[in-house]
Structure 1
């Protein structure tokens, strides 16, 4: 690591409850679901829905779900993000810190720690650990980090890495995490992406007339695609399956973790019930919207998804882990930082 660094790297992930206690899960869910970019309703309506209906019923159930995946070191997502930080630090000279969108450490806490240790800091390069743009993931993380940076604007600048859904290093890393599983006998690969409401797709359409408003909108070139989650998950899937030579009839896409009506379809839980009846008995499944395994992968997909598929008549079910700390993924991030250090700004996000 450089003795007197002018730049630091900040890895930003989703976050997690402090523990599996209901009170901690309730606090986490309140912060998460009260985010106006997650549930985009007027404040009073959002508060009534979240605090009056969703959280009181969901917190105890979520606490039980977290207990099934919790490790001796805590939340898998937090543990894996720390491990990614440590692995990346071995590859680059700039100091690396982590922050979470919900829970801790917050971006402010990360900024304070970096400044205390490196008072000569001039820039923080923020990498939101979300491959695809969505207002409820990448956008809210970036805006939160920017908001907490404002009091420090005269101390250091904040530079943001853009979504990397089609970046060659990311696609190669994702493909290589999949490759060992392709040697086994399987009927189908299901790419399960986190679901979002269709209205979010329309809201982030900077043209106001393309996304979900035109036939084949995701395949028709448009500047809207820079902010379109649906287009980007299709692009990721296409690129990685082409890289691995997987035929079109051997994979499909679905969306998980829906909260209500009007979300992107098809739904993962529904497809897991249907696939055995369509002759697909041996399934591989992965969740490329996440780079770190978490509740949505380990409990929703690995545990409940397996139960659903096997109960419907499936014979074998294998979840391919997220990138986590895969050596190629670590080297990919290090490569982006090295390129930026050398003056390449291709991976830097432009202001909307």
Structure 2
């Protein structure tokens, strides 16, 4: 069998115009693993309410961060793919879960090169229904319908792999070196609390309280909240952070249902009100900088902090196409192509 790799990231509208943003948001928000309510209710919410107002607002946000080369997430993902391809022998394709760079196109690109065994690599350190799961489920549906002779293996969550933690920790250390920030906030993309309970394979462990994430359980294999908190703990341990100088929060929320807390915007506000004058934020749920990191955190977060009296505000870039990150991904891929051992 000839092996190939399909890297998959979130996606982006084709342009920062309301028309393209509306098309993109429609696909994204109609995903049953993103807004996990019955189809008719989801349709009424998304098409009847959200898509009537959100595209114009989101387009304005995208315009703030759009690069000459295109969407930052797409450009950075393409740079990553090209660098990895230089370090591995197997063909490496790139796809997005949403938007025009579809997973079907990515699989077809590999098949056209003679590939019949694919390593599906969701570019998310932590497992979540709305990220890893929706990618793997769609890929399997496409395989059954269009590529029945192709075998697909999926890379599991790698949030706690020592070599990943080392790369992430070194990136944080290098970007903050020489700067004495009072607090480092680990901000992760938010999800509804119900997603955590739905992903609980034990159907009883995840109570989203102060103990379940630190109590050993099979549920942790698919628990986004636990995995985020573990990244924070492992990095803090690696970099020997003092207690009280770092914390975890969750950004982005939609609707009125409870989402994972504490919320990032309110945490920034609280830290500013407490008299904090300098802080930095890292966003380890993303491997590529995107709207959520470049606009919601770097711009809106800074504005909130300054309004609360804070002065120095910094963001640690995502791993993007950092050479150490490229080397690690290439090592994992080469291990799989030669031994069939996954990350």
TM-score normalised over the length of structure 2: 0.97
Residue 278 (structure 1) shift:
1.7
Of residues 201, 210, 220, the one that matches 2:196 is: 201
1:129 aligns with 2:123: yes
1:150 aligns with 2:144: yes
Per-residue CA deviation, residues 211-261 of structure 1 (Å, 9 max, x unaligned), is 116750001000000000000001111111111111121100111001133
Q: Which residue of 2 aligns with 1:343?
A: 339
Residue 342 (structure 1) shift:
3.2
Q: Which residue of 1 aligns with 2:41?
A: 45
Larger displacement relative to structure 2 (275-284 or 184-193): 275-284
Secondary structure of the equivalent of 1:29? helix
Q: Which residue of 2 aligns with 1:70?
A: 66
Q: Equivalents in 2 of 1:281, 1:41: separation in Å?
A: 42
Structure 2 unaligned residues grouped into runs of 5+: none
Q: Equivalents in 2 of 1:219, 1:182: separation in Å?
A: 30
Q: Which residue of 2 aligns with 1:324?
A: 320
Q: Is the CA contact (8 Å cut-off) linking 2:167 and 2:325 kept in structure 1? A: yes
Q: Which residue of 1 aligns with 2:155?
A: 161
Q: Which residue of 2 aligns with 1:350?
A: none
Equivalent positions of 1:160-179 (< 5 A) are 160-179=154-173
Residue 137 (structure 1) shift:
1.0
Q: Equivalents in 2 of 1:92, 1:183: separation in Å?
A: 35
Larger displacement relative to structure 2 (332-341 or 84-93): 332-341
Per-residue CA deviation, residues 126-179 of structure 1 (Å, 9 max, x unaligned), is 110011111011111111122112134443211110011101121111111101
Of residues 265, 271, 283, the one that matches 1:269 is: 265
TM-score normalised over the length of structure 1: 0.94
Of residues 295, 300, 305, the one that matches 1:304 is: 300
Q: Equivalents in 2 of 1:221, 1:70: separation in Å?
A: 43
Count of matched residue positions in the alignment of Structure 1 and Structure 2: 341
Residue 297 (structure 1) shift:
0.2
Q: Is the CA contact (8 Å cut-off) linking 2:332 and 2:342 kept in structure 1? A: no
Per-residue CA deviation, residues 77-107 of structure 1 (Å, 9 max, x unaligned), is 0000100000101111111100110012111
Secondary structure of the equivalent of 2:93? strand
Of residues 281, 287, 290, the one that matches 1:294 is: 290
Secondary structure of the equivalent of 2:80? helix
1:138 aligns with 2:132: yes
Residue 183 (structure 1) shift:
2.5
Q: Equivalents in 2 of 1:346, 1:110: separation in Å?
A: 20
Q: Which residue of 2 aligns with 1:314?
A: 310
Q: Equivalents in 1 of 2:103, 2:271: separation in Å?
A: 42
Q: Which residue of 2 aligns with 1:238?
A: 233
Q: Equivalents in 2 of 1:213, 1:307: separation in Å?
A: 30
Q: Which residue of 2 aligns with 1:92?
A: 88
Cα distance, 1:43–1:191 mapped onto 2, change above 3 Å: same
Q: Equivalents in 2 of 1:148, 1:81: separation in Å?
A: 22
Q: Is the CA contact (8 Å cut-off) linking 2:288 and 2:319 kept in structure 1? A: yes
Per-residue CA deviation, residues 273-292 of structure 1 (Å, 9 max, x unaligned), is 11022232100101100000
Give the RMSD, CA atoms, in angstroms. Answer: 1.3
Residue 345 (structure 1) shift:
2.2
Q: Equivalents in 2 of 1:220, 1:209: separation in Å?
A: 13
Q: Which residue of 2 aligns with 1:334?
A: 330
Cα distance, 1:314–1:39 mapped onto 2, change above 3 Å: same
Larger displacement relative to structure 2 (265-274 or 211-220): 211-220
1:23 aligns with 2:19: yes
Equivalent positions of 1:208-223 (< 5 A) are 208-212=203-207, 216-223=211-218
